Structure 1
Amino acid sequence: MRNGGARRVLVATAAIGSLLTALTTLTACGGTEHGGGADGAKAARSRPAATEGQAQDPTRIPDVADRWQRRIPANSSQVVAVYGDGKDSPNSTVVLYTRQKSTGQDSAGRVSASHGSTGQGSPWTRVGSWPAHNGKKGWTTDHHEGDNRSPVGVFTLSDAGGVLKDPGAKLPYTRSAAIAAPRWWAKSHWHDFDYVIAIDYNRVKGTPPNDPTRPQGESKGGGIWLHMDHGSGTSACVSLSESAMAYLLRTLDPDRHPVVVMGDRADLKGSH
């Protein structure tokens, strides 16, 4: 009996060991399928921590690389971020971020030339998000007249206007029928320019949005605005709903030095 009992204990122990081995093998197999194994498991544990660290950094505009972050002026406390779905896509998302006004400036609003928001400054807060459209052929870092792509970059926002009555804009607002979309355009486009905010790409600040002056020459294009959406891609502008445009007009404040950071997601996140 004593010897028989010992044999049964040995058999049970061996069975349990085999079962544990089988379970371990199944776990590793499942892990390998999803990038597991010893190295994969270590990477899987480290990835969420890195992502959380990036998401929790409040001094950066999310998903925007240092080369673009550095172009956001230190005294800017309003950023309109335009995240394009893809380099060749006309679809995008607009997000408004704000932060407290910078205290590192004098009474005239002057700031140091070595400015930037990366790793310093007040935290950014996401205050609004809207679906949008950009150039019908997507994005480019070398925009030219007629390429139907929106320019990637960081640009100031200084002037606004439109066909409709001023909705309470803080930016200088020029109401003019001359801003209206041509009536030879499709009827769906007739209200595109009821509200517009000029993007300071190849234009003179402090002038109406439809001022034709092109400091870098005609070939570099111009007249690139935030304006009302007609449901599809644009020539190079960024378009939003009427309610979104009215909100931005009432919110963007020249005293807060608003800028737009715009481009396809891959280019905005890329290091070069």
Structure 2
Amino acid sequence: MPVRKSTATALACALSAALALTGCGALRLPAAAPAHGPAAASPKAPAPDARDGANRAPVRIPGIGPRTHARIPGSTTQALVVSGDGPDGSIATATLHERDAAGRWHRVAGPWTGHNALRGWTDDHMADDLRSPMGVFRIGDAGGRLPDPGTRLPYDQDEEFTVSGTGFLGEPLEGSFDYVVAIDYNRVPGRTPLDKERPLGPERGGGVWIHVDHGGPTQACVSLLRAHMAELLRALDPAREPVVVMGPAAALAG
């Protein structure tokens, strides 16, 4: 896949150890493009635990309640579910699901353990609140310091994905942006994750990514181990209109 070269200037998310910034959302990333808020809602989801009678395969993603499931676009057939360990927790578990032609959802990758923001989750994310935005968001643009690992998403390899400093636990942040997937919160879809435009305004935060885990909480992003990031990048298919469904487990079950 051709590499898309970023036009963004120096990464505004260079960290100082004193700031202990962890995770792209917290890293003052270049004002990411206008954020597409939560993905558009789809038709009303089936009743809880509804399953196909013949195969007993779920017609709703396990652990996802009817209200959350209704926010997944009807055209989406690939969903990364990031389930937090509590509203104020920073440990998360990610699983990738795909919907077949009969409307049944199947887990195709994971579970993978990672991190979210230091103070947990929020449905009203603001810059510097140290919480990850919860909801359903499109994911369609990727990049990183390292070469494309074989993704079908547009991929921007750029040295501006370099980061330094230490995280909240004193862990080094180096390599955290070797692979990233932009979450369409307060950004313009279709642009490099390095893009700085913030359609909702800078006060609403931005630069919220899925990126390589550095061993501690982030400022707003979701992080996964490097091998799992590479696996995710190879699995994501823009033709499936992928989304990330993210938040504390109890909220997602609603």
Q: CA deviation at 1:185?
A: 4.0
Runs of 4+ with deviation above 3 angstroms: 51-57, 184-187
Partner of 1:193: 177
The Cα offsets for residues 196-216 of structure 1, whole Å up to 9 and x where unpaired, read as: 000000000011001111000
Matched position secondary structure for 1:215: coil
Whichever of the two has the greater Rg, that structure is: 1
Letter in structure 1 aligned against 2:89: S
Per the alignment, do residues 156 and 54 of structure 1 end up closer, same or farther by CA in structure 2, a change over 3 Å counting? same
8 Å CA contact retained: 2:210, 2:221: yes
In the alignment of these two chains, the number of paired residues is 201
The aligned runs of 1:20-39 (5 Å cut-off) are none
Q: Distance in 2 between matches of 1:205 and 1:53?
A: 33
For structure 1, which runs of at least 5 residues remain unmatched after alignment?
1-50, 102-120
1:79 counterpart letter in structure 2: A
Q: CA deviation at 1:184?
A: 3.8
Q: Which amino acid aligns with 1:197?
A: V
Q: CA deviation at 1:54?
A: 7.3
What TM-score, normalized to structure 1? 0.70
8 Å Cα contact 2:50-2:59 kept in structure 1: no
What is the rounded CA distance, in whole Å, between the counterparts of 2:77 and 2:50 in structure 1?
Answer: 23
Amino acid at match of 1:163: R
The amino acid of 2:123's aligned partner reads T
Q: How does 1:1-272 map to 2 (within 5 A)?
A: 56=56, 58-100=58-100, 122-128=103-109, 129-181=111-163, 183-185=164-166, 188-270=172-254
Q: Does 1 or 2 have the higher relative contact order (CA < 8 Å, sep 6+)?
A: 2
Unpaired runs of 5+ residues, structure 2, are 1-47
Identity %: 47
| Residues 49 and 58 in structure 2, CA contact (< 8 A), matched pair in contact too | no
- The Cα RMSD (Å) is 2.0
Relative to the length of structure 2, the TM-score reads 0.75
- Mapped to 2, the partners of 1:189 and 1:177 lie a distance apart of 15
